[in-house]
Amino acid sequence: MHKINSENVSAVLQMCAQAKNIVITGHRSPDGDAVGSTLALSHYLRAKGFENTVILPDDYPTFLHWMKGNEEVQIFDANTDKGEALIAQADLVFTLDYNDLSRTGNMADSLRNSEATMVMIDHHQQPSDYAEVTFSDTTSCSTAQMVYEFIEAAGDVSMIDSEMAECIYCGIMTDSGSFRFSSVEAKTHRIAAQLIENGLDHSKVHMAVYDTNLLDRLKLVGYALSEKLEVMEDLAVAIISLSKEELDKHHYRAGDTEGLVNQALSIDGVQCAVFIREGNNKVKMSFRSKGNFDVNEFARAHFNGGGHKNAAGGAVSAASIEEVLEQFKTAIKGYSSQLELK
């Protein structure tokens, strides 16, 4: 593990200076932190004179397409041949907002086969040891905050312009629940203040992410909350599940179910919530919790997942949503002593 300090950051920037092909990657199903942190680092390295390419495993919601550099992001699943070639040619690869190559979906094999030096910048628990340089801070609210700290350690905060600041702020805002999660520190607010001093229009970022709903999305959310939300009897657990048929009926697009699991968790007395979504040959799960119930450990133990103590994800292949729902209900009952409806 390496601390983000001037010495270690200087060493990484020296690697950038020697590299011929730099690639910056994020995790599959990119969220605001994955997109914001990769684009922010990309802009910073270019400002330092280091050309680079951002490659993300698959596409991300349209409410994240407004950030500078979006049009240059390479989507691996959309052009696999090009993605494979870019990774094969790279001699330096940054891996942001994930700590295991399996989190990159179809891109994972290309990264495993790469001979490039790898630098991890991430805040998820239990990082793997694939990277030559690992910046891991599980107490940080977001990878975007760590990217800011990377730039700060280099002495380059003055290089953060308004567009770079938007990317950093988007990552921090979305991964911290708009600054409400317990992972937010006093420093997080100081960073936001500095970004504003550097020209950030924070209300513009909030509006772009949260105030651009389509009618279909609102109808899907309404249906999920009114028809598919259930609270397990005698347990402080809320569940929302949506089948592929239900998603198709509401013209689902990536990002439409963002935040649903948090709405389930907001129910008074509920300590744990899960959102279960059926996709193509895979059922994806999002877990959230309050207090001491560790959904990271739960997801790792039962659903091939992981993340943070109070926010994690998982997935099950070759199973129906009904089977996964029953599997979840059976598994969570084993934690009844930790989950009591209040």
- The mean pLDDT of the chain is 95
Share of the chain above pLDDT 90, in %: 90
- The topology under which CATH files domain 215-333 is Diaminopimelate Epimerase; Chain A, domain 1 (3.10.310)
Domain at 6-210, CATH class: alpha beta
For residue 342, what pLDDT is reported? Answer: 56
Judge contact between 141 and 176, C-beta under 8 A: yes
Residue ranges of domains in the chain: 6-210, 215-333
Residue 50 CA to residue 19 CA, distance in Å, equals: 9
For residue 319, what pLDDT is reported? Answer: 86
Residue 341 pLDDT more than 70? no
Residues with Cβ < 8 Å from 144, sequence gap 6 or more? 33, 36, 37, 40, 167, 168, 169, 170, 171, 172, 175
Residue 94 pLDDT more than 80? yes
Asked, colleague to colleague, whether 6-210 and 215-333 share their fold, the answer is no
Per-residue pLDDT reduced to its tens digit, 277-334: 998 888 999 999 998 899 999 999 999 888 889 999 999 988 899 999 999 999 999 9
Residue 60 pLDDT more than 70? yes
Query: Which structure tokens are listed for 63?
Result: 């409410």
Strand order in the sheet with 237-242: 229-231, 237-242, 272-278, 282-289, 311-317, 306-307
β-strand partners of 242: 277
Which conformational region is residue 19 in: left (phi greater than 0), alpha (psi within -120 to 50 degrees), or beta? beta
Q: What is the pTM of this model?
A: 0.90
